[in-house]
């Protein structure tokens, strides 16, 4: 998932100003970010009136791909893509480096703006799966101790993938993932090409079946990014991070695992601005089918019908989110910070 909008001085200042101190009863004071914007009464059933976005860690370059890991008492992993690292955050212990390098090991990794891992997720067996920018592959961490990886997908029809971005597992074990070109961007652009050295001239949405077969599902989206299933797995949501077509699509899932004709779920093209930086990016779905999608201004919350209920406003480019703890906490990667908010709902799968 990628930032297309450069941070202005206003945005940077806004991030600093938005971080305030809140006291919750006997709890220690905690820094908070942004505010809660309520559009529809149904939003109150999801986010309480006293809910705040708590800052857990900051000082990163670009946080992404959070995933909750229930082992060892529970902890969160997230990517800092430019730093080529995966960080671990655990209650009472703070953060530490979990994996470095996380997604770029080749000779071109130092030349890339964002060589590290992007989306992180757990497969049905509890292994960590990484969307790697620099090495242009989907990989699996075979051991939590040795940190050895196995490549799950890196080529389509003999050509190298662009830079796998985000993924979601279907209950049958099939992996659906997006492959935009953001990871090919260079620190020092040359030749006038935004994303050089691409083998594929399209951005695809793929399915990797349990037997290792890679199937292209659609190449009609200009910049596919975040991806998520509805609770009944009849709908696949895909974000499009294109400033000219900032939308979320909803695709019906066919019986053979392929996609039917998609429909526009929500249009965000006119929502952006200096006070609402960001584009449709990562997303997660709750047990009731509501969609929590990062986009202009923060985390936009939609009903299953695509009605905008409210926004967890961060005021900074916001990359992705993940359910954690008992399923009612939403962890949010907001630009340089890792944050969380307590909700009144629970994530899909909890």
- Report whether the peptide linkage leading into residue 101 is cis, meaning its omega lies within 30 degrees of zero: yes
pLDDT tens column, 307-331: 999 999 999 999 999 999 999 999 9
Q: What letter does residue 10 receive in the DSSP assignment?
A: H
What mean pLDDT do residues 246-271 have?
Answer: 97
> Is 4 a domain residue?
no
CATH of the domain at 59: 2.120.10.30
- What is the domain extent for residue 134? 9-342
Question: In the chain, how many domains are there?
Answer: 1
Q: What integer pLDDT is reported at residue 191 of this predicted model?
A: 79
The region of weakest confidence among 2-6, 216-220, 339-343 is: 2-6
Closest by CA to 329, choosing from 78, 51, 100, 40, is 51
- Dump the DSSP string for 114-167: S-SEEEEEE-TTS-EEEEETTTTEEEEES-TTT--EEEEE-EETTEE-S----E
Q: Which tokens in the block code for residue 44? A: 């109150």
**How many Å apart are CA 115 and CA 123, to the nearest integer?**
23
> Is 115 a domain residue?
yes
Average pLDDT, the chain: 92
> Is 348 a domain residue?
no
The pLDDT-based confidence of 29 (bands split at 50, 70, 90) is low
Q: Alpha-carbon dihedral of residues 6, 8, 10, 12, nearest 10 degrees?
A: 70
**How many Å apart are CA 321 and CA 291, to the nearest integer?**
11
Q: What integer pLDDT is reported at residue 146 of this predicted model?
A: 87
> Is 193 a domain residue?
yes
Q: What integer pLDDT is reported at residue 11 of this predicted model?
A: 39
The pLDDT-based confidence of 18 (bands split at 50, 70, 90) is very low
The pLDDT-based confidence of 293 (bands split at 50, 70, 90) is very high
> Is 226 a domain residue?
yes
pLDDT tens column, 221-241: 999 999 999 999 999 999 999
What mean pLDDT do residues 74-95 have?
Answer: 98
pLDDT tens column, 141-179: 999 998 999 999 999 999 999 999 999 999 999 999 999
Helix or strand run (H / E) with residue 11 = helix 9-18
């Amino acid at each position: 998932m990628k930032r297309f909008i450069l941070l202005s001085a206003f945005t940077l200042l806004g991030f600093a100003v938005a971080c305030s101190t809140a006291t919750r009863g006997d709890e220690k004071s905690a820094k908070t970010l942004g505010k809660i914007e309520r559009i529809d009464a149904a939003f109150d059933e999801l986010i309480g009136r006293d809910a705040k976005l708590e800052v857990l860690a900051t000082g990163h370059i670009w946080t992404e791909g959070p995933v909750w890991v229930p082992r060892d008492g529970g902890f969160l992993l997230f990517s800092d893509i430019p730093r080529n690292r995966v960080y671990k955050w655990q209650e009472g212990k703070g953060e530490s480096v979990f994996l470095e390098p996380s997604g770029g090991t080749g000779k071109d990794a130092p030349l890339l703006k964002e060589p590290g891992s992007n989306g992180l997720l757990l497969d049905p067996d509890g292994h960590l799966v990484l969307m790697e920018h620099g090495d242009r592959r989907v990989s699996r961490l075979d051991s939590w101790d040795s940190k050895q990886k196995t490549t799950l997908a890196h080529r389509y029809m003999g050509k190298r993938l662009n830079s796998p971005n985000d993924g979601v597992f279907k209950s049958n074990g099939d992996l659906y993932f997006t492959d935009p070109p953001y990871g090919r961007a260079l620190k020092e652009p040359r030749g006038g090409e935004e994303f050089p050295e691409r083998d594929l001239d399209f951005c695809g949405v793929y399915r990797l079946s349990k037997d290792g077969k890679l199937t292209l599902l659609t190449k009609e989206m200009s910049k596919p990014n975040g991806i998520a299933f509805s609770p009944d797995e009849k709908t696949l949501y895909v974000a499009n991070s294109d400033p000219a077509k900032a939308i979320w699509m909803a695709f019906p899932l066919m019986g053979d695992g392929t996609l039917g004709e998609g429909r526009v779920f929500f249009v965000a093209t006119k929502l952006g601005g200096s006070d609402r930086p960001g584009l449709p990016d990562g997303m997660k779905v709750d047990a009731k089918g509501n969609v929590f999608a990062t986009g202009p201004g923060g985390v936009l919350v939609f009903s299953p019908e695509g009605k905008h209920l409210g926004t967890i406003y961060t005021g900074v480019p916001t990359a992705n989110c993940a359910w954690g703890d008992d399923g009612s906490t939403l962890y949010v990667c907001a630009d340089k910070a890792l944050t969380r908010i307590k909700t009144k709902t629970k994530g899909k799968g909890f």
